[in-house]
Structures are given as C-alpha cells and as structure tokens.
Chains A and B, each alone.
Chain A
C-alpha cells in the first residue's frame, strides 16, 4: 500500500447567503495516495471548485475530517492553514494568478519566501531553475508574466506550484483560459510530472484531459457518484 497523501472523511460544505443555504458538498470521502493522478469532473455547479478549495485549505469545511500526510488539518486558524498550504500544497489556477509586477523567476520563488525557515539564496536559485526546467521555461526567467502567452504563463504557474516540493498539486481547470494547442502542452507537462512521481488532483470539464488521469471522480450535486480506478480496470 502506497502512502496516503490526502484523506477526507464525510466532508460537507454549506454556504449561507441571504437566508438561502446551498449544500455545495455532502458527505464527501476522498483518499489520494502518493503518485496518483486524480481528475474530478461533473456538471457546472456540482461543487468541483468548492471541493478543490477545501482540499487546498483555501476554505474550511462545514463538517467532516481532513488530513494531509497523516496530519489533521480539519480545524486550523487562518495562519496555520497558510503555513500548511505553503509547505504541502501546490496550486494551479484557471486564471494563472501570477503577479505581473515581478519577474517570472521571482514569481516562481515566491512560495519559498513564505517558508518558516527562509532557504538560502543558492538553494532558491537552484530550486527555481530546476522547476523552470521541468516546465521548459528556463529561457524566460527574467521576463514579466504579462510578456508571455497564456500557455507559458500556466507553465510558470505550475513551476511555482512545484517549487516548495508540495505533497500534492491541486489544479483547477488549467486549460480553461487556453487554446487547445497550449492546453495540450500544459497537460503534457502535468502528465510528465505525474510520471516522475508528483501527486496531482485536477478539476476539468474536458473529457479528453480527464482521461489522462488514472483515477476519475465524478461529482454530482455535491456528492461523488462514481469512482473509476483505471489501473484496477486494466
């Protein structure tokens, strides 16, 4: 049995706005093991983004328990959550969310600067360069993000997500803002990373890309309805 990276047990999320309660997630159980590539699909509004933000500790669940690499993270303060995000989670957003005012290199290095024990400059340089190499963007280290194409920006975002050596990479519709060719490149990068051992959890609409994952979850109305383990099927 490989190591369990992520374990959610009967996680629910309720949004309360203006007297209306939205049950975005109901009793969701998820286990993700080291080296897995999980995709989450489902119709719009079924709760994919909500699930991903809970996985990434961007938001807190209404009930249920959640642990990352065996560490219970169900009930954290804002700053504790930030520290865990920094240490264990890499994010890739649909909209890149790079900071336009600083260089590609600095963008990628940013998570390291939020570490509790600030790494040495040499370490940072080496690490950033390694990650940029992984996404094949070393030649653009000194550019500003807005001087790059969408696909290139997304690859920088992936490098940034990898730089702190996270337990898991959380990816929300990485190709949503890209044309199909750039989308393909980004997906190829992700596949390559997974092959080299990175655990990935990705939300996507695109059935083609969902197929690249070895575990495919389907979400409907806030509940996981079908779990296909391709490896088992094969």
Chain B
C-alpha cells in the first residue's frame, strides 16, 4: 500500500512537469469518454433496461394498417369505429385500453393554458399500474359510455399550473365547457409510454367518452387518425402472431362492411399489426442510439490512437530515466507499474471529466433530443454509467501502460546509459513512423472532409428557401368552450364580427381565415375523372386571402373569391407537383377531380410548389420539393386565422382573449404562434443534426489535430540526437526545418493518397450517398480540408523542433533531460 502511494506520488510529480501532455490526455480522453458514457447509458436504457411497467412481456399495441389494391400500405392509423369495434370485441387481449391524444385549453384557469390531453378508458392506467401522488386512477365508473366528467393531472401540471395545491382533489377544471372533477394526480416517477409523438407529455387525462372526435368521424370508416391508439395485455398463451390472425379478419370484415358504399376504397383492406410497446416506443430511435454509439466509438478510437502516440513519445522522452531505473535493478514489471501509476492517474482524471461531461450530455439530450429519442427523461448517472466508467478507466490505463512498456527494449536500456545517444534504443523504425503519419493524415483528411460536407448539408437544409413568407405572420386558433357547438350558419356572423375586430386592431396589417401552410394539411383521396386514376395529395381548405398573405405565387388561372367560398363552389387549385402528377405537361386547368362526393371539383388555378422542411409525398420517404398539394375554398365559419402584423408590431394572447370575450364569451384563444416559430420547430431535427454535427466536427478537427501533432512531434523527438549531430556539423535552423518538413511531406502526401483510396472504397460501398458530392462545389471543401491539414502539419513540424533548434547544439547532443 505504501508502495502504491509512493508510486502515485512519483507519477504525479513527473506528470506535473508536463502540463501540456497531461492536459491533452485529460481533455482528449475526458471529452471522448464523456460522449462514450452518454452513448452507453442511452443504449442501455433503450435496448436493455425494461420499461417501468408490469408484465411488459405481454404488453402490446395493436395497429391498424390500411392497404391498397396491390397490398401497398396506404396508412397506419385507426378509424374511430374500427377502434371501438376492436375494443368491444375483447378478442386476443385479456385487458385492453383505447387512448386518443388531443389538446385543449383549461378555461377555468386564470391564464387559460393550452394543455396536452389524452382520452383513455380506465384500463390504460390499470395496465401500467401507474403510480399516483394523490387520489385515484380511472375506474369502472369512468368506463366507456358512462359520461362521468372526472380528470387526472400529471405531476408537473399539478405543480406548475396549480402550485401543488393540497386541495386539488376538491377542484374542478373546465375544458371546452365541460367541468371535470379532479380525482387523481399521477406520481412524479410515472413514466408515460410515448406511443404517439416522442417527447409529448400528457398533462390532463380525461375519460374516453369526452374525446374530441367529431360526430361524423365517430361513425366514419373512411377517416383515419394517428391520434387513436390501442394498447393492452395479451391473453396468457396468445402470441403476437396469433393475435394478428385473430384480430385481422374481425376488424377487416367490419371495415369492408363500413366502406361498402365508397367506391374509392374498392379492393382495399385492413390488417392488424401487433407490436410490443417497447418496439413501438423505440421505433427508429434504436438505430439512432446504436449509430450514435458507433460514431462515438469511432471518436474513441481516434482519440485512443492519438493518445497512444503521445504515450509513445513520452516513453521515448523518458528512456534515460528508465534506463537508470533499470540499471539500479528495476525489472520490467517495476517499470510497468510505474507507467501504470501514471496512466492510471491520467485515466482517473479523464474519467472524472468524462462523468461531469456525461451529466451535461444527459441534460443536453433531455433538452434538445427529447423530441427525437424516447425515454430520455429517465437518463441519468446510474450503476451502468459508473460500471462502464470504472471498466473504461482500468482498460485504458492498462492498455496505455502496456503499450508504453512494450516499446521498451529492456536490453537496450543499459546501452542507452553508456552510449550517450547513439541513436536511441526506443526508436520506432522510420517506416513505421511514416506509416503512422500517413494513416493519421488519411484518417484526418477523410474525417475533416466528411464533417465539412455534413455541416454544409445541414446548413443548406436550414437555409433552403421554403417558397412562402412567414414574416410577421402568426396563426390564431380559436377554442370553443361549450358543448353545444354552433352550426355553420350560427358561426358565420360571429366569425365575421371577430374578423372585423381583428382587422381593426392597429397592429394588424391583414387577415386570412385559413390555417398556416406549416400545418393544417390533410391527406385526401382524389380521383381524376378523365381516367379514373387515384391520387393522395395533401389537401387544404383556404380563404381568398391565403396565397396573397403568404406570398405563394399563382402561376396559372385564378384565385378563389369570397363569393366562391360563400357558394361552396366546387373549385380547386393545385400546385405544380400535383399538376405534373395529373398530367405530364402540367396543363390541368379545367380538369375535373372527384373527392367521392357527387359534384366533382374543377381545377381553376396552379400555384408554385412550397418546400416545407421534412415534408415528403405520401408513400415516399424521399424528401423533395415536389410534394403534391391541392387547395379548395373553405367555408366562412372556420376558427383558424393567420394574422399579419405591421413590421415591428405585436399582438398579445391576452389582447386577443379580451377581444374574443367581447364578441362571444364562449370563444377563447386555443393557440397563437408566430409562423417563424412553427418553422423553427419543424426545422428542429435539421437544427439538432447541424448542431450535433458541428460539435462532433469540431471534436474531430481537434482530435485529428492532436493526433497529427502527436505523431509528428514523436517523430521529431526520436530524431533528437540526429538533429544534434547535424547541428554539430553545421546545419542551420533553416536546414533542419526544411529537413523535417521535407521528410514528413512524403508521409503526408502518402496520407492524402490514402484518403483518396478511402474515398474510392467508400464510393464503391456507398455510391448513393457520395454521387451527389461529386461536383465542382466540393472543390472549395477539398481545398479547405487540405489547407487545414497542411497548416496543422506545418505547425506540428515546427513546434516540437523549436526546443532543439533554438538553443545551443550541445543540449540536443547531451542525453539526459
């Protein structure tokens, strides 16, 4: 033990003399291992750790897949009557629940917040054994068709909206004119299964009966909605495939019956898919997590190679000291232990940095990746993180110590002492050195180039023109807080008055009674009556001001008029992409398109395409600008508006609330968001990718730089005596600098050649990804990459050399340091 402490003290003393070395190792390993610990913890959480629900081996979700005549998938989502039919059948599932996601405003609350709601049958929380902070969960008294107005709150809602008030169970909350008695509050540690959007947290739970589905849709087998979900425990002994066999005919037969009247669905069918809750929640994030781990492992490997180089240089530097230890009786084992004391100390300090950074990493993932990765709220330093940390510390300390001591040729050590510098016993051959430099350069070049292109792509996506304006435009959606919905006729005069008042606001420049182009598109099944071809474009009802306000240009034909909207005229405007789909030459004005209703729609105009970030045509994953879209005139009773304010002016939610209350107290603000905010939100994935790439890229630049520096400075240190001899026979500094640069140039050029080979290999393997890169546009990137690498190389040639050439020659010739 005393020996151990002594060794650690000696190691610390010797490291303290090399703060640059120490800092480089700790930062490089700290940063990369921090990323590694994050990735390991995340992967463990997603891939291994069970979810906090009982009997999850029987916990499954049923999905409703709509397929076309050729068995191609048309959509995966339930119809409302199909969902209820499945639920009531009680087949295959021992206990099952329905869940519908929604959103509503708590109008009884002073600040009238918009909250995420979920409408569930009582089995939902029973199946999950949801822990409660207060009260009870839904019971048979809230079963389907009981119409019992009670609610459960999430822990955060209770804390944030009701200040954790103790008498919350005596309170009632009003949403859409229904007053719900609060019967329970979920516990803080309740983990909601993210069946819908990842990262979405339900704030208010309401019995299924009160879901927001309209009367028509409740009966319609022709409407599907992604908000509808079905989850339950399969019966004991029933496998998921058996469940599929059982449920598919049950649901399909009913659906065929339900859509018998609608020609459009001829030949289509339903099948039920049964997937484990874990699989549904993980979705594609499993591969994201694994990719992240792979990427980080790559980083760790680069870092590891770099640090190996540094340790090799350090061993070379310490050869005389070790020779002395060997001469006075240190065995190989002693030298290893001394080295291990040093590497252990360094790795210990690195892992402390890594643990701190991983904690920060968890926080960042929770803040920014909550919408991409599920379960991130469960992330935190845990036994796995610490276990991995300990393992990594020991393994790397051993590895670096072994590597360093393996370089020592024990027999040569003794001669090192006697001959003060006939070369050095620890030399790695010139060839190995050159191969190391060349491979480091090749790797660095590829990495730097790849990161440049990733970065460029991400930035390009963010800056891509969207084809419409969001400037000063906000979307206002009204909330109707009563159960007796007004008819269209009743709503029109109210909306007219609201619009008049809105337009009269001094801040408001113009008004459109339509939703933003960034949301509010449905997918509609349309038939071209000329040839009976079927299409599924994005579909939107708009007013006559819509295109003007968002500055989307009309290319051919005419816009709708107010009269068209009043009359419910059967007109349609299509975009270029849809026009091309309908007819190759895009000349579609006057064409008749059927929505399934008796009266077909006549195409009267063609507008330019818009490019909503991340939008892809139905049935395709390829992002492209050409998403087919169709627009029809909407009615006059719509409750969604776009407000364009005058430059520099704003309207507040409160102001709008007051305005609405003045016209009709049943209306309040559901949501009021700037279009540019919505756009930023829809760019979220791209922004996250760009930031992650930028961070990784700078790490890679840093690591590549350190690696190049390490290997080049190591090479220079090994040539110390040679440099001394050259100085003795009259080499000037210029001679020596050009010698080192000249020698390394060959290796660097070989490295550049190597990187071309790597790219060629990558091209053969991944030509789909690389093909688009092959244009003149990559030239500046190539030049930037080469300049960067060359600058680092020149620096790495000169910097280690300066200590030898900037002092009298004798210091390089003398062996001790």
Q: Which residues of A contact B (CB under 8 A)?
A: 53, 56, 58-60, 78-79, 81-87, 89, 91, 93-101, 110-111, 114-115, 160-161, 164, 177
Contacts and interface: CB of A to CB of B under 8 A. Distances in A.
The listed residue with most B CB atoms (<10 A of its CB), out of A78, A83, A100, A160, is A78
Contacts of A115: 730
Closest 6 CB pairs between A and B?
Answer: A86-B730, A97-B725, A58-B810, A59-B810, A59-B808, A111-B729
A7 to B, nearest CB: 21
B729 A86 contact: yes
B236 interface: no
Contacts of B419: 94-95, 177
A208 B808 CA distance: 33
29 contacts: A53-B808, A58-B813, A79-B732, A82-B731, A82-B809, A83-B730, A84-B730, A85-B730, A86-B730, A86-B731, A91-B728, A93-B728, A95-B420, A97-B421, A97-B722, A97-B725, A97-B728, A99-B726, A110-B726, A111-B729, A114-B726, A114-B731, A114-B732, A114-B735, A115-B730, A160-B729, A164-B729, A164-B730, A177-B419
A62 B655 CA distance: 86
Contacts of B807: 78
Interface in B774-817: 805-810, 813
A58 B735 contact: no
A209 B681 CA distance: 88
A41 B805 CA distance: 30
Contacts of A160: 729
Contacts of A86: 729-731
Given A58-B810, A59-B809, A59-B810, A98 B732 contact: no
Nearest to A79: B732
A18 to B, nearest CB: 13
A160 B813 CA distance: 17
Contacts of A99: 722, 725-726
B733 A79 contact: yes
B724 interface: yes
Given A58-B809, A58-B810, A78-B805, A85 B722 contact: no
Given A97-B422, A177-B419, A114 B730 contact: yes
B732 A58 contact: no
A115 B732 CA distance: 10
A210 B421 CA distance: 25
Given A99-B725, A177-B419, A111 B730 contact: yes
Interface residues of B, number: 28
Nearest to A157: B725
B725 A177 contact: no
Contact of A97 (B721, B730, B731, B805): B721
A128 to B, nearest CB: 13
B808 A58 contact: yes
A26 B809 CA distance: 22
A117 to B, nearest CB: 13
A98 B725 contact: yes
Contacts of A89: 730
A87 B730 CA distance: 8
Interface in B504-529: none
Nearest to A101: B430
Contacts of B722: 97, 99
B195 to A, nearest CB: 68
A98 to B, nearest CB: 7
B110 interface: no
A81 B806 CA distance: 12
B423 interface: yes
A114 B729 CA distance: 8
Contacts of B418: 177
Interface string B372-403: 00000000000000000000000000000000
A93 B724 CA distance: 11
B175 interface: no
A82 B732 contact: yes
Contact of B733 (A78, A91, A164): A78
Nearest to B722: A99
Contacts of A161: 729
Interface string B713-751: 000000001101111111111110000000000000000
A71 to B, nearest CB: 15
Nearest to A161: B729
Contact of A53 (B734, B735, B810): B810
Contact of A60 (B729, B734, B735, B808): B808
A56 B806 contact: no
